[in-house]
């Protein structure tokens, strides 16, 4: 889905733990850079290829990947994407999640025990498929760590907004030209409604709710939630409401 010139919200179907849902990585580009924000679950390289071709930005043009955080549904296809590209892709993430992404620490949520438990509950054929996808930890090297307030000089400027809570190094992004806020999992959209972070998936809810206050500093036309997609209706007002509601 085209959000504005040079920014496209991708729509990929994810099948995880027997549950199907749609996830929304974002592609931002201009003549110098093509930036992908988040990389789906393991095994989605072909879907990324197709979605990027459709957007007119083939995978080989990709120059940067920005990870909002360490969770498996955000870093899953990164190793495959890096391998598939002819050119070097720079990977950016916050220091707080870097050790998890690089495999120096085990992932906070998809622990080995949780994977084992999930596998137990599945029928044999599914079990094999899931095991091949999630059985080995996904890791990738982070080339550059990014900090709160940093304006990345890509595609007319992308501001890093540090929004911990969902994970310790969670970030959101603001693309200036299109006035788009990319929330990662700091917010979700459900049936067209913009909501706070998902309580089941957010270990430090108190911090996560503090974090969303930062969004009210920006003039936002479009919000992209990784889970739930685009929200456009009076975004600034709705964000102010969410902060007040807590």
Q: Using CB under 5 A as the criterion, which residues of the chain lie in contact with Zn ion when the complex forms?
A: 71, 73, 185
How wide is the angle at C-alpha 118 spanned by C-alphas 166 and 97, nearest 5°?
A: 25
Q: Which is nearer to Zn ion, 155 or 227 (CB)?
A: 227
- Looking at the Cβ atoms of 92 and 155, the one nearer to Zn ion is 92
Q: How far is the CB of 73 from Zn ion (least distance, A)?
A: 4
CB 81 within 8 A of CB 48: yes
Shortest spacing between CB 69 and Zn ion, in angstroms: 8
Residues 62 and 35: their CA atoms lie apart, in Å, by 6
Structure tokens at 163: 């929004």
| Residues 223, 9 contacting (CB under 8 angstroms) | no
**Could you tell me the smallest distance in angstroms from the CB atom of residue 5 to Zn ion?**
27
For residue 191, count CB atoms less than 10 angstroms from its CB and return exposed for 0-12, middle for 13-18, buried for 19 or more: exposed
User: CB-side exposure of 172: number of CA atoms within 13 Å?
Assistant: 29
Here the tokens at position 178 are: 């299109």
Residue 200 structure tokens: 């089941």
Do residues 69 and 96 touch, judged by C-beta distance below 8 A? no
CA 198, 158, 82, 32 torsion: positive or negative? positive
CB of 194 to Zn ion, least distance (A): 16
- Nearest approach in angstroms of CB 44 to Zn ion is 13
Nearer to Zn ion by Cβ, of 33 and 73: the residue is 73
Nearer to Zn ion by C-beta: 198 or 236? 198
Q: How far is the CB of 107 from Zn ion (least distance, A)?
A: 12
Of 6 and 25, nearer to Zn ion (C-beta) is 25
Cβ proximity to Zn ion: between 9 and 155 the closer is 9
């Amino acid at each position: 889905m085209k959000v504005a010139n040079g920014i496209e919200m991708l729509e990929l179907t994810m099948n995880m733990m027997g549950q199907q849902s749609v996830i929304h990585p974002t592609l931002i580009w201009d003549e110098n850079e093509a930036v992908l924000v988040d990389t789906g679950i393991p095994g989605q390289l072909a879907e990324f290829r197709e979605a990027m071709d459709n957007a007119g930005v083939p995978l080989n043009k990709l120059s940067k990947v920005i990870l909002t955080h360490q969770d498996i549904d955000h870093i899953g296809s990164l190793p495959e994407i890096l391998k598939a590209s002819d050119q070097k892709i720079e990977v950016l993430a916050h220091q707080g999640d870097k050790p998890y992404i690089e495999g120096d620490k085990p992932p906070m949520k998809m622990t080995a025990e949780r994977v084992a438990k999930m596998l137990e509950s599945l029928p044999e054929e599914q079990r094999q498929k899931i095991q091949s996808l999630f059985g080995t930890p996904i890791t990738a090297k982070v080339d550059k760590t990014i900090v709160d307030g940093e304006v990345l000089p890509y595609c007319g400027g992308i501001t890093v907004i540090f929004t911990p809570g969902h994970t310790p190094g969670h970030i959101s992004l603001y693309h200036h030209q299109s006035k788009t806020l990319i929330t990662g999992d700091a917010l979700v959209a459900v049936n067209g409604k913009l909501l706070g972070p998902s309580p089941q998936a957010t270990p430090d809810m108190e911090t996560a709710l503090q974090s969303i206050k930062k969004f009210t500093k920006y003039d936002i036309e479009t919000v992209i939630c990784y889970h739930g997609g685009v929200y456009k209706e009076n975004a600034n007002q709705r964000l102010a409401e969410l902060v007040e509601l807590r």
